[in-house]
Structure 1
Amino acid sequence: MLPEAEINRVLVVTAHPDDVDFAAAGSVALFVGRGVEVTYLLVTDGDAGGNERTLDNSGMAELRRTEQLAAAKAVGVTDVRFLGHSDGRVVPSLDLRRDIARVIRQVRPDLVVTHHPDRNYQFVAPSHPDHRAVGGAALDAVYPDARNPYAFPELLREEGLEAWTVREVWLNGGPTPNHWVDVTEVMDRKLAALQSHVSQVAHVEGFVDFVRSRFAAWAEQAGFGEGHYAEGFQVVPTA
């Protein structure tokens, strides 16, 4: 794994607003607290989400973008980017790979955090088709696209974006996490980020207790002990 001291910039690539906050907001808060520059890249605006469909898709998209900006602020992230792909219809296309590779070359991160591209049969919730498509496209953008100067040559020719090698990827939502982050000290900030997504969670009875119990269980699995909370990832070395 990359030593902490060598992680200076992080790019988090997700399918929808709230994905990063469920999976990694605690880890992000810890990164920001150490002075790491963190960028969020959201492939969709989450326009197919929401509990009560009182808004049309454009209204829901605007609402969810606003909620994600508030959630990002709760953990100290100010650079939030949206690609505007259609919620529920994401496929790991060449266009999506190019879009992600572009941002990788712009941000030049040491670490990319994204969805696991495989279905998790132990816990199906993270295996939304958009999540798996984004995870696969992000991994392809990391290797080989962003680092290969001959891949998507228009990024260099027309936009001046030089090739960039991401050194490590953390995958969330998969069946085989091998790296756990103790987020106990920033759990309140993670909860604040999650509760910023009012359209998605306000109707869920006992939401805070559910989140606490879920991440406490992962802390036990990680061996951190009672009273701790953890986020889990599968680390993929890519350099």
Structure 2
Amino acid sequence: MRDMEDFATNGTGRTTPEQPPEQPPERSPEQPPEIPGRGAPASLLVVAAHPDDIEFCVSGTVMQWIARGTRVTYCIVTDGGAGGYDEQLPRQAMADLRRAEQVHSAKLSGVADVRFLGYPDSFVEASVELRRDLCRVIREVRPQRAIIPSPEINWARVADLHPDHRAVGDACLRAIYPEARNPFAHAQLLKEEGLEPWTVHELWLMTGPTPNQYVDVTPVFDRKVEALRIHTSQTAHFDDLAGLLRTWLGEHATAGGLPPGRMAEAFQIVHID
């Protein structure tokens, strides 16, 4: 069966990196060829509002791209201090716990580069300061592709309505276009820190209302569940976490035209060039 990395409901992606991408490892004969702009990129930046957002939404895709040679960086915007269900735990202790959970979970997925911006949980705004910090990360990492939260409301799923998600998505969009590529935006990044402008050519949105790309994550589903369970402070209360994910990802797979029993993560690919 065709790998879902090569499946999209409509449109075609483009790959136009500023410099030649790193060469991915040779494919095994059973791996299908990838459609440009939709398979594994040479480098990837994933930005999320909270620890655990990545594991819920896109970790299966990330795991499979890493297996194909992608270099991945995670950037978590908030400290996660407003999360969890332990009312006796001080909020700073919760933030420290969630940071540790994120590092551990990322390691299981194969990601060693995890960056935390430390903004207060539940109070994110697309401020100049946040956009500057995101531009700094973009210019340091220099990714071919970025996965970010959608700035749009997804009325079909209440869990995606957190205002931090939309604020981070808005800030990321502004940072990616036009600020990170503009030498005169946040000029101190170039003048004082020596960070040259960088153009992110491929943008994928998660948690949005209009996905147009579905990635089959069935082969790594068990690892995805394991990575999410590491976020004990956020998932211990679920009686059947695997069942919840199976239902949710199964709905994505159905929307993407996959056979029954498959599971997929959903994205909206946005052309920014």
Is this a same-fold pair by TM over 0.5? yes
8 A Cα contact 1:127 1:173, kept in partner: no
Matching residue within 73, 87, 100 for 2:107: 73
Alignment of 1:44-193 (within 5 A): 44-193=78-227
Contiguous gaps of at least 5 residues in structure 1: none
| Deviations 1:147-202, CA, capped at 9 Å, x for gaps | 00110110001110000000011111111000010111111111111111000011
Two-structure CA RMSD over aligned residues (Å):
1.1
Distance in 2, matches of 1:208 and 1:198, equals: 14
Instruction: Specify which structure has the higher proportion of helix.
Output: 1
Aligned-pair CA distance for 1:123? 1.6
| Aligned pair partner of 2:68 in 34, 38, 54 | 34
Which amino acid letter does the alignment assign opposite residue 223 of structure 1?
Answer: G
Count of paired positions = 239
Which ranges of 4 or more aligned residues in structure 1 deviate by more than 4 Å?
none
| SS of alignment partner, residue 80 of structure 1 | strand
1:36–1:6 CA distance, 2 compared to 1 (3 A): closer
Out of 77, 89, 113, the position equivalent to 1:43 is 77
Matched, 1:216 2:250: yes
**Contact 1:45–1:84 (Cα < 8 Å) also in 2:** yes
Task: Give the SS at the match of 1:109.
Answer: coil
Equivalent residue for 2:28?
none
Question: In structure 2, the residue corresponding to 1:90 is in which secondary structure?
Answer: coil
Deviation of the 1:122 alpha carbon:
1.8
2:47 to 4, 8, 13: 13
Q: CA deviation at 1:124?
A: 2.4
Taking the aligned partners of 1:6 and 1:213, their CA distance within structure 2 comes to: 26
Secondary structure (helix, strand or coil) at the match of 1:47 reads: coil
State the one-letter code of the partner of 2:235: V
Contact 2:225 2:241 in 1 (8 A): no
Q: Which residue of 1 aligns with 2:238?
A: 204
Q: Does structure 1 retain, via aligned residues, the 8 Å contact 2:40–2:70? A: no
Q: Name the % identity.
A: 50
Which amino acid in structure 1 is aligned with residue 201 of structure 2?
R
